[in-house]
């Protein structure tokens, strides 16, 4: 194992903070540079709109980092069922018991995951947190990468890991291009409080206007996800919570319980993929390298797989020159991320297609998958990262 090697991590979101913590636990000396540091949320605060479905593999990584146990029980929901269907057709049903698993995954707020990671980083002697800081410049030589921060501080390291999100300023400083397109759709997130106990099934209905999804949250909370045109989302955003509830009752798939709208917000959907994952001694991870249509909740899970891959290489292939090591990382992660992006696009486009034949094909795929036994379970295990 390499000891006392310095690494700069830019961006302390879920991906950057996990990267920094796992590397620190391997003995690396870490500098985290974060523009907007994580604030510790209050245990009884209302649920934040930004929630993610975490795969079992992602949970395992957070356990490896020692922070899974720190997520408060009342902010974490395990789900045992996942259902998806094309409007007016049969459901494709996944059940954890069929897979011999306790759960299919977990739903939690992004800010809580980030917060427990930051609390653990603060306890590490070999981590320096540079809060409210950005990079001014990056210079590279054969043996080192040197950055200047906006307080003029200069840091030299063996490796720079950029985890500064979809609009990565580091990626731009490195002059790494992206391929990108706008989905011409937005996603409305609506937090509700229901009149029934905690649910354990997440579902998604595909419609011509885009998917509608239900994500259970801890206790009697839930997140509704409504994909639609930017015009429609703008109209929905202009409604107050009572008007929005009425609109949900009219237009959203039927909910089997009473509820109140607590919070709402809209997010544009853009697909981006970096044309290269590294340059010299700087490497991209998470949303800095790729953003994906969130319809299957894979974004941060892919980012965590990037983390696992780079960590394994840095720990187990430390004899490789850095350029070869980073090439291996790119060769391992780029095709996988591209495949997942493309798979999500096929689902997204076919659900919006007005062509009967395309929608029939999608229905056939869902019907075939439901009746495919082992194959269905294999698909689910792949999505769970197992």
SS3 content of the chain, % helix, strand, coil (to 5): 40, 30, 30
299-316 helix and 322-352 helix, angle to the nearest 10 degrees: 160
The site map against ligand FAD for 223-262 (x = CB under 6 A) is ----------------------------------------
Q: Residues 48, 86, 109, 287: which binds ligand FAD (CB under 6 A)?
A: 287
The contacts of residue 28 (CB under 8 Å, 6+ apart) are: 2, 4, 5, 6, 7, 126, 314
Give the interface segment with ligand FAD, choosing from 90-98, 247-255, 294-302, 336-344 (CB under 6 A): 294-302
> Rounded to the nearest 5°, which phi and psi values hold at 216?
-70, 140
For ligand FAD, the nearest residue by Cβ is: 13
- 294 contributes a contact to ligand FAD by CB under 6 A: yes
Q: Residues 165, 216, 280, 385: which binds ligand FAD (CB under 6 A)?
A: 165
Q: Which is nearer to ligand FAD, 280 or 294 (CB)?
A: 294
Token pair belonging to 161? 């890991």
Give the interface segment with ligand FAD, choosing from 27-35, 230-238, 330-338, 372-380 (CB under 6 A): 27-35
Place of tokens 């197992």: 386
- 299 contributes a contact to ligand FAD by CB under 6 A: yes
Question: What is the DSSP track for 248-275?
Answer: HHHHSPPPSS-EEEEEEEEEEEEEEEES
Give the interface segment with ligand FAD, choosing from 84-92, 176-184, 234-242, 296-304 (CB under 6 A): 296-304
- 385 contributes a contact to ligand FAD by CB under 6 A: no
How many residues sit in the footprint of ligand FAD (CB under 6 A)?
A: 32
| Sign of the CA dihedral running 15, 20, 21, 23 | positive
Token pair belonging to 230? 């930017």
> For binding to ligand FAD (CB under 6 A), which residues are involved?
10-16, 33-36, 52-53, 110, 134, 163-166, 169, 187, 189, 267, 286-287, 294, 297-301, 303
């Amino acid at each position: 194992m390499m000891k006392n090697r310095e690494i700069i991590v830019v961006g302390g979101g879920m991906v950057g903070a996990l990267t920094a913590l796992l590397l620190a636990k391997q003995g690396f000396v870490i500098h985290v540079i974060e523009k907007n540091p994580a604030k510790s949320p209050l245990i009884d605060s209302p649920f934040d709109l930004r929630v993610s479905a975490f795969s079992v593999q992602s949970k395992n990584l957070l356990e490896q980092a020692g922070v899974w146990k720190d997520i408060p029980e009342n902010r974490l929901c395990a789900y045992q069922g996942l259902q998806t269907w094309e409007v007016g057709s049969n459901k494709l049903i996944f059940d954890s018991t069929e897979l011999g698993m306790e759960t299919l995954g977990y739903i939690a707020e992004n800010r809580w995951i980030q917060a427990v990671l930051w609390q653990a980083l603060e306890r590490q002697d070999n981590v320096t947190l540079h809060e409210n800081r950005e990079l001014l410049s990056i210079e590279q030589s054969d043996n080192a990468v040197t950055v200047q921060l906006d307080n003029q501080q200069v840091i030299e390291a063996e490796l720079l890991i950029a985890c500064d999100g979809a609009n990565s300023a580091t990626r731009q400083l490195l002059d790494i291009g992206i391929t990108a397109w706008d989905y011409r759709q937005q996603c409305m997130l609506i937090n509700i409080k229901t009149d029934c106990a905690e649910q354990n099934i997440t579902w998604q209905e595909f419609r011509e206007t885009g998917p509608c999804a239900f994500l259970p949250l801890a206790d009697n909370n839930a997140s509704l996800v409504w994909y639609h045109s930017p015009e429609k989302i703008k109209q929905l955003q202009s409604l107050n919570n009572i008007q929005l509830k009425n609109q949900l009752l009219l237009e959203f798939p039927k909910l089997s319980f009473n509820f109140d709208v607590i919070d709402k917000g809209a997010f544009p959907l853009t697909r981006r993929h970096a044309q290269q994952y590294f340059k010299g001694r700087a490497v991209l991870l998470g949303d800095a390298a790729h953003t994906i249509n969130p319809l299957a909740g894979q974004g941060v899970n892919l980012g965590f797989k990037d983390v696992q891959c780079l960590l394994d290489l840095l720990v187990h292939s430390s004899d490789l020159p850095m350029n070869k090591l980073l090439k291996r990382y790119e060769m391992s992660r780029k095709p996988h991320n591209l495949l997942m992006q493309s798979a999500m696009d096929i689902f997204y486009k076919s659900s919006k297609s007005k062509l009967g034949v395309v929608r029939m094909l999608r229905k056939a795929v869902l019907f075939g998958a439901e009746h495919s036994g082992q194959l269905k379970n294999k698909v689910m295990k792949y999505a769970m990262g197992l």
